[in-house]
Amino acid sequence: MFPDSNNGYSYEDCQATADWLLAQAAVRPQVAIVCGSGMGGLADTLKDQVAFNYKDIPNFPLSTVPGHAGRLVFGTLKGRPCVCMQGRFHLYEGYPIQKITKPMRIFALLGVETVILTNAAGGLNQDFKVGDIMIIKNHINIAGFAGNHPLAGPNDDRFGVRFPCMSDAYDRDLQQLALDVGQELGYGDFLRDGVYCVVGGPSFETIAECRMLHKLGADAVGMSTVHETIVARHCGMRVFALSLITNKAVMEYDSEEKANHEEVLETSRVRASQLETFVSNLVSRIKPSKLSYS
């Protein structure tokens, strides 16, 4: 069950990739951003870009999902040095769970302090509308309960402790800052907060599954983010995460609606410019120091 030591995602492997990137790009990122499905435009807002295709980065996975371009972009957002994943990795692509989260460890070794994760998700909360932006305040990692967990296997203390706490997974100050930024931008009508539940995918959920997840306390469901959060927190980075509600999870047996990736990408396209403004304003207000916010 546990990976062997020559697995491609050891501390030394992550360090080698980080060193390669540091040798190629002058930017020393403080903030890392992961673009959700159809949200790759976030990366295009970076100034003075130096970009790498994933296929050219040593020991980096490849993106296989439409709406995930597969480029790592370094640059600045409102003067703040950033790195942006234009495309993330998902369990259903067939990668080991440690591989889909490896970029988080590389980011930590690059000196990143704060990770901003974005995703497309189905809305379980009946008050949510398509196009709402949900600030993630907590998550449910169902597969993790059963051992499918990104930190399973030998722990390398150079990254973090064996038993990391997750009650503070999503930074509360950053959540408040995001609420403030959203209100200032006039986004209050479509800004929510809630609990994100990760499932394995790639099939969308059945009606019974959606009802169960809602009963468990989830407001939105998707196939990403949670593993990245856990690994980022394990190695000491702060995490802010948001879901764009791209579709309503189907909860009624007489509903004719069918979840599909095209609708997901279309909703992302419609909200793209507001998401970009939201994230860049948020980034500009995050102070480099771990303690202060403007």
Ligand X SMILES: O=P(O)(O)O[C@H]1O[C@H](CO)[C@@H](O)[C@H]1O
Q: For residues 250 and 119, what is the distance between their CA atoms, to the nearest angstrom?
A: 19
Q: 27 to 46, contacts with ligand HPA by CB under 6 A?
A: none
> Is there binding between residue 121 and ligand HPA (CB under 6 A)?
yes
Closest residue to ligand X, judged by C-beta, is 36
Q: What b/e readout covers 56-72, taking b as 16+ CB neighbours within 10 angstroms?
A: ebeebbebebebbbbbb
Spot the catalytic one: 25, 108, 120, 249: 120
246 binds ligand HPA (CB under 6 A): yes
User: Is the Cβ of residue 62 or residue 259 nearer to ligand HPA in the bound state?
Assistant: 259
Closest to 56 in 3D by CA, of 71, 77, 66, 36: 71
Residue 160 sits in the site that holds ligand X (CB under 6 A): no
> Is 223 a binder of ligand HPA (CB under 6 A)?
yes
Distance of CA 104 to the CA centre of its chain: 10
For the chain, list the strands marked E by DSSP: 31-34, 47-53, 71-77, 80-86, 114-123, 133-141, 191-198, 220-222, 238-248
CA atoms within 13 A on the CB side of 269: 7
The answer for 217, left when phi > 0, alpha when psi is -120 to 50, beta otherwise, is: left
Site for ligand X in 243-262 (CB under 6 A): 261
125 annotated to a ligand binding site? no
Asked if 88 interacts with ligand X (CB under 6 A), we say: yes
**Does 259 help bind ligand HPA (rule: CB under 6 A)?**
yes
CA distance 72 to 57: 9
Active site annotation includes 220: no
Whole-number Å distance between alpha carbons of 242 and 231: 17
Is residue 224 at the binding interface for ligand X, with CB under 6 A as the rule?
A: yes
Residue 249 interacting entry, from ligand X, ligand HPA, none, C-beta within 5 to 8 Å by type: ligand HPA
What is the DSSP-derived secondary structure letter of residue 286? B
Catalytic residue among 10, 125, 224, 281: 224
Q: CB of 135: closest distance to ligand HPA in angstroms?
A: 17
CB 7 within 8 Å of CB 154? no
Q: Taking the CB of residue 156, how many other CB atoms lie within 10 A of it?
A: 16
Kindly tell me the number of DSSP H helices and DSSP E strands found in the chain.
Answer: 9, 9
Whether 228 is catalytic: no
Q: In the complex with ligand HPA, which residue's Cβ is closer, 183 or 260?
A: 260
Rounded to the nearest 5 degrees, what angle is found at the Cα of 227, between the Cα atoms of 102 and 79?
65
Using CB under 6 A, pick the residue from 135, 181, 249, 286 that binds ligand HPA. 249
Query: Which span sits near ligand HPA by CB under 6 A: 119-127, 130-138, 166-174, 274-282?
Result: 119-127
| Interface mask toward ligand X for 7-46; x: CB under 6 A | -----------------------------xx---------
195 binds ligand HPA (CB under 6 A): no
List interacting residues with ligand X (CB under 6 A).
36-37, 65, 88, 90, 119-120, 201, 222-224, 261, 264
Which of the residues are catalytic? 37, 68, 90, 92-93, 120, 223-224, 247, 261
Binding residues for phosphate: 37, 68, 88-90, 120, 224
